[in-house]
Amino acid sequence: MSDLLRRYGYGLSGLFILVTAFWLLMLVVLPDLFLFENSFRPYIPAVEVGGPNDFYSFNNYLSFTSSPIHIQVFALTILYSSIVTLVCFILSYPLAYYLAKVCNPRNVGTLFLVILIPLWVSEILRCFALFILLSFKGPLNMSLIGLGIIHDPIRWMTAYNSVMIGLVYVYILFMLFPIYNAIQSLDSNQIEAAQDLGAPWWRTHWRVIMPHSKPGIASGCVMVFMLSASSLFVPSLLASTTSRWFTEIIQQWMFESQDWNTGAAYAFLLLLLCILFVSMMMRAFKVSLADIAK
């Protein structure tokens, strides 16, 4: 706070604080509290709101436990979101290390520009482009056939395959940047010291680089998992006939059934799971919330 006042003065600092407080209170806290309160109330006609039939209960939450299909979709959403998080980490860690410690600093800016170009396009347009690319007779299959790699087109959009491909494509940068920032802050002399002492490359990463990068890895895992589990556009556009995402069920409750009460209960179940995942990641990597927020 003192640094903010010293840098911007009392007037501008007060404006910053006021805008931030307004955003948190009016656009985040109050709407969530409204949904949370409604998740315990029954879905009744508007004329009965406030009447004897309008009472608080756990019926909306219990409706989830009484639906085996919704429980299965919920479990599959968590499973495949975890797989997407793992795949993003496997792909991002080597690239982050290369950009931070191997690549010529003069070329890092150009490479980051190339990596950031997809973010200039909205998520829904990227999903439409990926839908065309992964279609049965799309550019990907035709290119593979033309190169002689395959003889028959591959059905990419089966089960949850296309959903996971889309989630990795859309959210991988949220894993890359925190890991890159963490590795970049590591003193290169520590890596050279480990190599001089005879440590193989895998032990250097396991004992020196990855322990230092734990806050970045935890932050990336948290963001990718939460974004994947709460994604709506990617599963809606790239899902097959045999795959459903939990957010699609929430959307159906709220907008198709117009049952905001049950939809709010389902949404808070997903929120509780995300909070549990964050807690597990913090415990697994032995980092604090302040470390993840860096």
Position 3 confidence tier, pLDDT thresholds 50, 70, 90: low
* pLDDT tens for each residue of 247-286: 888 888 888 888 888 888 898 888 888 888 778 877 877 7
* pLDDT tens for each residue of 174-183: 999 999 998 9
| Residue 179, pLDDT score | 92
Query: 34 in a domain, yes or no?
Result: no
Query: 33 in a domain, yes or no?
Result: no
CA distances from 100 to 118, 122, 186 (A): 21, 27, 9
Please give the mean pLDDT across all residues of the chain: 84
What whole-number distance in Å separates Cα of residue 65 and Cα of residue 76? 15
Q: Which residue has the tokens 């920032």?
A: 181
Query: 10 in a domain, yes or no?
Result: no
Counting the structural domains of the chain, the total is 1
| Residue 254, pLDDT score | 84
Query: 6 in a domain, yes or no?
Result: no
- CATH code of the domain covering residue 145: 1.10.3720.10
pLDDT exceeds 80 at position 47:
no
* Phi (first) and psi of residue 11, to 5 degrees: -65, -55
* pLDDT tens for each residue of 103-149: 888 888 888 888 888 778 888 888 888 888 888 888 888 888 888 88
Query: 3 in a domain, yes or no?
Result: no
* Residues 6 or more apart whose Cβ sits within 8 Å of residue 60: 39, 40, 41, 42, 43, 261, 262, 264, 265
Query: 70 in a domain, yes or no?
Result: yes
Q: Which domain holds residue 167?
A: 63-292
Query: 11 in a domain, yes or no?
Result: no
- pTM, two decimal places: 0.83
* pLDDT tens for each residue of 48-92: 777 777 778 888 888 888 888 888 999 899 899 999 999 999 999
Query: How are the residues of the chain apportioned to helix, strand and coil, as percentages rounded to the nearest 5?
Result: 75, 0, 25
Query: 92 in a domain, yes or no?
Result: yes
What whole-number distance in Å separates Cα of residue 106 and Cα of residue 294? 25
Helices (H) and strands (E) counted in the chain, each on its own, are 17, 0
* pLDDT tens for each residue of 196-210: 888 888 888 888 888
